[in-house]
Amino acid sequence: MIRNDTNVWVREDDDHHLLGREVIHPATERTGTVGTVFIRTSKVTGKTVGRTAHMRPMDSSGREWTADPRELKPLRLLAPDVAGAW
């Protein structure tokens, strides 16, 4: 999806590594599951001017929240892609 705002193009980052992951925002200690990451691109320069991650809450508060995805940390590390020796 690309949306036309005043001075920027807004599109979804479908390949962001945190999509669907449980994350924590260390500064606020809020936790959530990343549902969408938007990228804002300047219409004038064509450069990325910002990113926003949208999270669903994990604390049953019902309050969705947003943050810069660079500030988020995964709650659980993914297992390495190594086949077990059986």
Token pair for 53 = 């991650």
User: Can you give 2-24 as a three-state secondary structure string?
Assistant: EEECCCEEEEECCCCCCCCCEEE
Main-chain dihedrals φ then ψ at residue 70, nearest 5 degrees: -70, -20
- pTM given for the model: 0.77
Q: Which tops the pLDDT comparison, 83 or 66?
A: 66
pLDDT score for 15: 93
Contact 9, 41 (CB under 8 A): yes
DSSP code for 60: S
pLDDT score for 7: 87
Domain ranges of the chain: 2-74
Q: Which tops the pLDDT comparison, 80 or 8?
A: 8
Residue in this structure with the two tokens 């910002």, named with its chain if needed: 50
> What pLDDT, in 10s, does the model give residues 17-71?
999 999 999 999 999 999 999 999 999 999 999 999 999 998 888 899 999 999 9
Using alpha carbons, select from 61, 64, 12 the residue that is nearest to residue 39: 12
